[in-house]
Amino acid sequence: MENNERTNGITERDDELRVQRTEEELAAGTREVEAGQVSVRKNVRTDREQIEVPTRHEEVSVERVPVEGDASEAEIGEDEVVVPVTEEEVVVSKRAVAKEEVRVKKDVVSDTEVVEEDVRREEIDIEDETSSRRDI
């Protein structure tokens, strides 16, 4: 029993010749690649704001009034009286207050892409030039 196999898919066994027909099949898969990026950056911008602050202050008025009668027991001499005058001054302070939050999340979205590629296949042609032919 003789068995000769060639590398092109043809096998000879005794009185039989076998020809193997092959073809390519298209197979596709996926791989993950970076498609870009999203950057989230905070910048500081300075704006001028105005607010109204109510304040109070003291005002001094001096009035001279004529007086009649005897003087008090105070001695005549130099003296000074100091009357403090007050006012409110505006005090400004700042504090950081959280106003907004930005949340970045990623969602996986499934799509379908159609790919097209050429595939090869072998065809077997049979030419029978014998006078006695048997159909298979």
Residues 85-132 pLDDT 10s = 999 999 999 999 999 999 999 999 999 999 999 999 999 988 888 876
Give pLDDT, residue 86: 98
Residue with tokens 């950057």: 39
Tell whether the model's pLDDT for residue 6 goes beyond 80.
no
Band (pLDDT 50/70/90 cuts) for residue 133 is low
Whole-number pLDDT of residue 11: 86
Note the pLDDT tens digit of each residue in 22-43: 999 999 999 999 999 999 999 9
Contact 53, 90 (CB under 8 A): yes
3-state secondary structure of 121: strand
User: For residue 123, which of 50, 47, 20 has the smallest C-alpha distance?
Assistant: 20
Percent of residues in the chain assigned helix, strand, coil, to nearest 5: 0, 10, 90
Is the CA virtual torsion 103, 107, 113, 115 positive or negative?
Answer: positive
**Per-residue confidence band for 1, with pLDDT thresholds at 50, 70 and 90:** very low
Cα–Cα distance for residue pair 116/3, rounded to 1 Å: 40
β-bridge mates for residue 12, sequence order: 4, 17
